[in-house]
Amino acid sequence: MSHRVGLWEERNERSLIGLNVSTLAKDSVVSTMYNLSLSRLRFTEIYGNDHIIERAASKIRQLPADSVLLCLLLEGNAFYYHQDGFETLGAGDAILYDADRPFMYGFHTPMRQLILEMPREVFRANTGGSSPGRPRVLRGRESAAADEHVRTLARVIQGTLRSTSAPEPLLEDEALDLFGLLVGSNAGPASQEAYLLTAKGFIRRNLHRPDLTTSSIARAVGISDRHLARVFAVEESSVARFVMDTRLERAYQLLTETGSGHVQVGDIAASVGFVSAAHFSRAFRNKFGFTAREARERGRARQP
């Protein structure tokens, strides 16, 4: 068991930061870690059982990290001891902390988290400060907008980690824009990009809702209707146009998927938020130049 803990500590030292690990679990530490180092950021995803990680002053002197971490807790419950106090976290919360300040971070349930790590100079360039100071908990559950921002950043990190192609620099920009929005350091173009990413993610997850309006999307993102309209105008689009195009593209995908032939066209239309079959038919033909039934036949013709 101690051998397994030692291996996990070595893995953290190589891939993340130097830590001491302990657990009361009978099977010792059972965890899986995925890492990806980019030019400015490092993304990590960790699954594990209950355990505690500690970064004491002696470990910091031995292995300084000179970095700042934002940990997004996706599953489980956690606590965080630091020099100034004690914090608790639940699924949907995030904690921002300086890796070179002593801490004890514990999970008393099975856990899953994502970590955005940035060198101190990157943090300084994006916030104007050299350190977040006291650890800061960002409560994703406190508002719909905060939850959407956390979800969007999590999607960017997970998508990058699971991609089979080389990550693009744009992904780092997106992560940094969203990071700035979460910690309140973004203003100007960067925050507009972050709001746009969040709005698009919310729309894609809620296509089934017929009441997906500018107002409902703006409330979810945490800005006014007018501000949301300006965000989409940067792309020479509008909220309504993006919603309609995304509904129709998803419908096309569902119509042409292998094994979807038993699903009625009307049911697919309803699943992407159309109340009227006639409205769906007109909109589909106007966008693609052929009917939904013709799209299904084209999909069948391509299938082996």
Judge whether 220 lies within some domain: yes
Q: How many domains would you assign to the chain?
A: 2
Query: What pTM did the predictor assign?
Result: 0.84
Choose one of 138, 160, 195: the last residue of a domain: 138
Asked, for residue 172, whether it belongs to a domain, the answer is: no
CATH number, domain with residue 251: 1.10.10.60
Asked if residue 182 belongs to a domain, the reply is no
- Picking from 81, 105, 138, the residue at the C-terminal end of a domain is 138
Considering the domain boundaries, does residue 274 fall inside one? yes
pLDDT at 2: 38
End-of-domain residue from the set 138, 154, 186 = 138
46-90 tens-digit pLDDT: 998 999 999 999 999 999 999 999 999 999 999 999 999 999 999
Same domain? For 119 and 17 the reply is yes
176 in a domain, yes or no? Answer: no
Residue-level pLDDT at 253: 92
Any domain includes 58? yes
pLDDT over 70 for what percent of the chain?
A: 90
Rounded distance, CA 40 to CA 237, Å?
A: 31
Structural domain including 108 reads: 2-138
Is the same domain home to 133 and 261?
Answer: no
Indicate if 9 and 130 belong to the same structural domain.
yes
7 and 133 assigned to the same domain: yes
Per-residue confidence at 129, pLDDT binned at 50, 70, 90?
A: confident
Q: Give the CATH number for residue 86.
A: 2.60.120.10
**Do both 118 and 43 map to the same domain?**
yes
What are the tens digits of pLDDT across the range 186-238?
656 668 889 999 999 999 999 999 999 999 999 999 999 999 999 999 888 99
Is residue 93 assigned to a domain?
Answer: yes
Tens of pLDDT, residues 12-33: 555 567 888 888 777 777 788 8
